[in-house]
Structure 1
Amino acid sequence: MGFQMSLLLHFMLLHIGTQGQDGPIVEVGVGSTVRGVEEYMPNSNKPVYNFMGIPFAAPPVGDLRFQPPQEIPLWTGELDGTDFGDICPNVIPLLPAMSENCLFLNVWTSSTSQNANMAVMVWMFGGAFQLGDGDIYEGTEFATLEDVVVVTFNYRVGVLGFLTMGDSNAPGNAGILDQRMALQWVQRHIRSFGGNPDAVTIFGESAGAMSVSFHLVSPMSRGLYLRAIGQSGVATTCGAICVHTTEVAVNRSFVIAESVGCPQSDSDGVTACLRNLDWEDIELHSFEYLPGPHLDGTFFTDWPLSTYSTGEFNRVDYLLGFNQDEGYIFMGDAEPTRENIATLIREYLAIIYPENLDAIFQACMDVYVDYDSMVTDEDYERAYSYFIGDKLFLGQIHDFARKHSVHATTFLYYFNHRPFWSEMPTWATASHAHEIPYVFGEPFTDDTTLEFSEAGGVLSRQMMTYWANFAKTGNPNGNGLPAWPQMNCSSTNYLELVPNPRTGERYEPERMRLWVDTIPALDTYRSGTYRGMPWACPS
């Protein structure tokens, strides 16, 4: 989480203090207009229009705390869209302007003509469902260079976004339902900003990519988007943030409530007590207890992996992938060596696999540790990073990609470019979240605090075009880019994203086979829930 926190703060500093000014006015509805800001990329005379702080749901305050988002009528008159709205309460005290009145979205577009009919890309931010906001991601470069409409938005995180009592007092999954409400607003109004509501692509990173896959499995989100992009995340890349049973989620909520001074033993008492507290007294406990999504029977009608295994998901075009060293920032304080690597792996597995641990541990040791060939501490650090990254991300992403490709067009990528500004060990290239600045075209802005190489700028431009092509047509290819093969279940073709992208087939097959085949067969604990059962490609 360390780098992602640093990147979030970097984006925050990049976009803090946006100033209002005279700018374009868009009519969103009868008697409802919004004034935005005209912006320009460096060395470009093409204007982009940015409309910020647009409310898409009622403020979730008072009795609406812990409730699903409520629709809000359009405002009357002119809305000042020249500055961002408040950020939803986070565990990061440095973030500016936080309040519970935070359900706002932002739009970047190169045309306000309702006939422009541009593809729309709706971004869902990451942050383990405990932190983050939509305002820190800048859409100017995307809108300028690729002629797409970019939308970002806030959703509730932490306790305020995911506490549940399993009843109408606090149904839970409020943060995910905020996302859905934003997508509904886009369907109703994005044409006013030059967007095509029938060509919406949802995309996100980490918990944002998990969210994308949640909308893929939920019948409640069907019809709200046409395509999906997931960067380093699917519904089961969960670590500590998994989709839990209602029982587990409610028990966690009682523990959270007691920790903030609400020891009541019933739902009515707990929620009444919590609604009387300041949000600061509640939200700062998010990282301590990590509240997250739960199987509510409405948004989630079944375990996401079960839905994927049966093919009963929303069968839309899907582009997804991972970074080379996803696990590096999740190693924590571990310092793997020849002497302790086995202990580290076993202790990690023991938390997740309480049954058949010996067999699962040995299977992992056979894949990741070779005492004969591994000589330096760096060898063991790399092995442990791969182990963590494969468990949390790569294995699950491969599994979802295989299952999706049986029913719908699927493209898989592998980001393997070492950022010029990286401070990781020399053996590592790209860790979690490293691809985000490249996707958003940050090498092409003068405001960045990061430093990019010329090759990094080339890669960023290629990635933006791949992403935009996919949003426009369902196929990332074109515009003279290196060919990106569509993947299928058995071959798992992928594109390696480096300054000169190249194709590959069956990424690290032994490592991936461990997580998509071997361990599901060995895991006898909660088999069929979020872990799923062994699954094979149809013949």
Structure 2
Amino acid sequence: MTACVTQAAAQEAPKPPIVQLDSGRIQGSDDGTVRTYSGIRYAQPPVGELRWKNPVRVAPWRGVADATKPGRPCTQVDKGEQIGGEDCLFLDVTAPARSSRKRLPVMVWLYGGGFLDGYGSMYNARRMADQGEVIVVTPNYRLGAFGYLALPGLPGSGTFGLADQLEALKWVRRNAAAFGGDPGNVTLFGQSAGGISTCALLTSPATRGLIDKAVIQSGTCTLSFPTGTYLPIPDIPPLTPSPSLKASQDIGLAAARQLGCAAGKELECLRAKPVSELVKVNESFGNALAHGTPLLPLEPAQALRTGKFLRVPVISGGTKSEGTSFVAGAAQAGIPVTAENYPTLMKNAFGEQAGKVLREYPLTGFSSPGLAWATVSSDRAWACPTLEGDEAMAARTTVYAYEFADAKAPNVFELPSEFPLGAHHASDLPYLFDLDGRPWEGLMPEQWRLAEQMIGYWTSFAHTGKPQAAGAPAWPEFTPSGQSVLSLKPASQGGIGPADVRGQHRCGFWKELAG
């Protein structure tokens, strides 16, 4: 009897599927809900002479490659430890296990992490693929010094990581059909650095023909950070998501000097350095996606404002309290915002206009100095620039704008905080993905309901270009004159409905201050 049951179970278990790619065959896994193909090489290893060169198309292989384990992350530092490596240009594919007669939309996810950390396999897309009937691709791309080094005379300077993302999109166009996907219906989506990359790619001439829709989460091209509003540190200069090529080259030359490289011999010297040496200057290359380059001829913010971007449907938004986790993280690192340094932060950020901002955001209006500065950051550096970017895009293409506003969103960075973090930066991610392969513990039933609705919006947009979700309100198009931003929050907090982003984040004040 036992032998018969065992034999029957073996017959019922789905066989690991073998897929024929343009470069060779791969064998993934099937758990009955989704099929996963992990660790697929999409470009040749960027090592040796290929370090700091644009990616080279993957070489064909013989036999059947194992695609059941994730590939190595790109070199980064995690909790003080170096992880990953240079041979990291892998991607994962997640597809519904049930067969479909029609080609499914493909969604390509770009992870965040300040261009310094993250990797595709962190983001398990099984809920999205199963519920939304989509194929989700999660590629790795080079980070830090390995992805964004710029030097005079070095082709590809400042955009190697962006070139990796483009190579992954080319791979998707060539291979989507092998997984049952539609190569003519590709949605690029990303969060934070991945959102910045997504927006930048909309402005790149090289993206034409590779994507059909885009979702930008907490990363529009028009983000800008006055001194101290990215992190409350006085000596951090103003930041934008995309510095000039000259500024990026200056960073590269300074890093080379720091590692003892002679003038005029920087590239040769750096190519000879082991990974362990280069990691020492990795932090210099966060948010260093260079413009004035072949891939980004214009600063992406300027391209957005002047209409020089790909006219595809876009979902764009962020979280309501983006700045809280950055302020709490700085406090944990020993750099708290206090009543004593609050005026100094104001002066460093806003100069002669600091008094006006202090009157608009007085300490007496907040439960703590940290929350006051986090609110300034959320409004000035995140929400209002996002609104500006949405307006620029909506003047020329279809835009659906949102704000993730769950005040009880999970503390994704596990940060101690003197004030509620609210819907902080990246707190929307557990609603879309199982981070590190596990559903987030502690979400309430109404939060899981919101997660289903968000996945519904995102994936229906991938199918048709119009976001819809069962049992959820209609999502109106965003227009510069009518606004129409959708607030995403659980039923106990009012549920999904209109958001007054302009009013709640005092965008009129900030616009007037900018003149």
Partner residue of 1:388?
Answer: 377
* Alpha-carbon displacement from aligned partner over 1:158-210 (angstroms, at most 9, x marks no partner): 00100011323663310011001100100111111111111111111101100
SS in 2 for 1:488: coil
Q: Aligned runs of 1:94-173 on 2, under 5 Å?
A: 98-110=84-96, 116-168=102-154, 171-173=157-159
CA deviation profile, 1:62-85 (whole Å, cap 9, x unmatched): 111111111123323211101111
Q: State how far apart, in whole Å, the 2-side matches of 1:270 and 1:396 are.
A: 37
Alignment of structure 1 residues 402-441 onto 2, 5 Å: 402-419=391-408, 421-422=410-411, 424-425=417-418, 427-440=420-433
Q: Report the Cα distance in structure 2 between the residues aligned to 1:212 and 1:157, rounded to whole angstroms.
A: 16
Within the candidate set 442, 461, 465, 1:474 is matched to 465
**TM-score relative to the length of structure 1:** 0.83
Q: 2:61 corresponds to which residue?
A: 75
Instruction: Select which of 439, 452, 455 maps to 1:464.
Output: 455
Match in the other structure for 1:252: 251
Please report how far the alpha carbon of residue 307 of structure 1 lies from its aligned counterpart in structure 2 after TM superposition: 1.1
Query: Is residue 30 of structure 2 the alignment partner of residue 24 of structure 1?
Result: no
C-alpha distance in 1 between matches for 2:248 and 2:82: 30
Q: SS where residue 78 of structure 2 aligns?
A: coil
SS at structure 2 position matched to 1:346:
helix
Q: Corresponding residue for 1:187?
A: 173
| CA distance in 2: counterparts of 1:386 and 1:74, whole angstroms | 52
1:428 positional shift: 3.8
Task: Report the CA distance between 1:311 and its aligned residue.
Answer: 0.9
* Aligned 8 A contact 2:320 2:405 in 1: yes
Aligned to 2:281: 285
- Which letter does structure 2 place at the counterpart of 1:285? V
1:33 counterpart residue number:
25
Structure 2 gaps of 5+ residues are: 1-13, 226-238
The answer on whether the counterparts of 1:60 and 1:69 sit within 8 Å (CA) in structure 2 is yes
Q: CA deviation at 1:364?
A: 2.4
* Deviation, structure 1 residue 304: 1.3
Paired residues of 1:420 and 1:451 also in contact (CA < 8 A): no
C-alpha separation in 2, matches of 1:481 and 1:441: 22
The CA distance in 1 between the partners of 2:418 and 2:465, in whole Å, is 37
Partner of 2:198: 212
CA distance in 1, matches of 2:152, 2:224: 21
Cα RMSD (Å) of the superposition?
2.5
Per the alignment, do residues 37 and 97 of structure 1 end up closer, same or farther by CA in structure 2, a change over 3 Å counting?
farther
Q: How far apart, in 2, do the equivalents of 1:286 and 1:238 lie?
A: 22
Supply the distance in 2 between the matched residues of 1:421 and 1:297 (Cα, whole angstroms): 39
Cα deviation 1:73-126 (Å, max 9, x = unaligned): 332321110111111101226779622111011100115979531111110000
Structure 2 vs 1, CA of residues 328 and 483 (structure 1 numbering), >3 Å: closer, same or farther?
same
- Give the Cα separation in 2 of the matches to 1:164 and 1:100: 17
Following superposition, the deviation at residue 238 of structure 1 comes to 5.3
Q: Compared with structure 1, are the counterparts of its residues 114 and 163 closer, same or farther at alpha carbon in structure 2 (3 Å cutoff)?
A: farther
Spell out the pairing of 1:254-269 with structure 2 (5 A cutoff). Answer: 254-262=253-261, 264-266=262-264, 269=265
Alpha-carbon deviation of 1:509? 6.0
In structure 1, list runs of 5 or more residues that go unmatched: 1-20, 40-45, 350-356, 522-539
Q: Is the 8 A contact 1:241 1:290 kept in 2?
A: no
- Superposed CA deviations along residues 462-488 of structure 1, whole A, max 9, x for unmatched, are 111111111111111243321222110
1:317 aligns with 2:313: yes
Identity %: 29
Work out whether 1:48 is the aligned partner of 2:39: no
TM (normalized to structure 2)? 0.86
How much has 1:145 moved relative to structure 2?
Answer: 1.2
Query: Take 1:135 and 1:510, find their aligned partners in 2: how far apart are those partners?
Result: 34
Residue 450 (structure 1) shift: 3.1
Looking at structure 2, the residues matched to 181 and 204 of structure 1 have their Cα atoms a distance apart, in angstroms, of 16
CA offset at residue 271 of structure 1? Answer: 0.9
Compare 320-329 and 240-249 and name the one that shifted more. Answer: 240-249
Conserved? CA contact 1:91–1:287, under 8 Å: no
Instruction: Describe the shift of the 1:113–1:63 C-alpha distance in structure 2 as closer, same or farther (beyond 3 A).
Output: farther
Instruction: Name the aligned partner's letter for residue 256 of structure 1.
Output: A
AA paired with 1:280?
S
- 1:358 equivalent among 352, 358, 367: 352
The question of whether the paired residues in 2 share the 8 Å contact of 1:395 and 1:512 is answered with yes
Stretch of structure 1 that moved more, 420-429 or 76-85: 420-429
**2:213 counterpart (227, 233, 240):** 227
How far apart are the structure 1 equivalents of 2:355 and 2:365? 20
Q: Counterpart of 1:304?
A: 300
Partners of 1:413 and 1:213 in 2: how far apart? 16
1:512 has 2:501 as partner: no
Q: Deviations over 1:36-68 (max 9, x none)?
A: 0112xxxxxx43110011111111111111111
- State the aligned residue count: 476
CA distance in 2: counterparts of 1:222 and 1:518, whole angstroms? 36
Aligned residue for 1:508, secondary structure, equals helix
Task: Flag the 1:125–1:406 CA change in 2: closer, same or farther, 3 A.
Answer: same
Change in Cα spacing, 1:95 to 1:47, as seen in structure 2 (3 Å) is farther
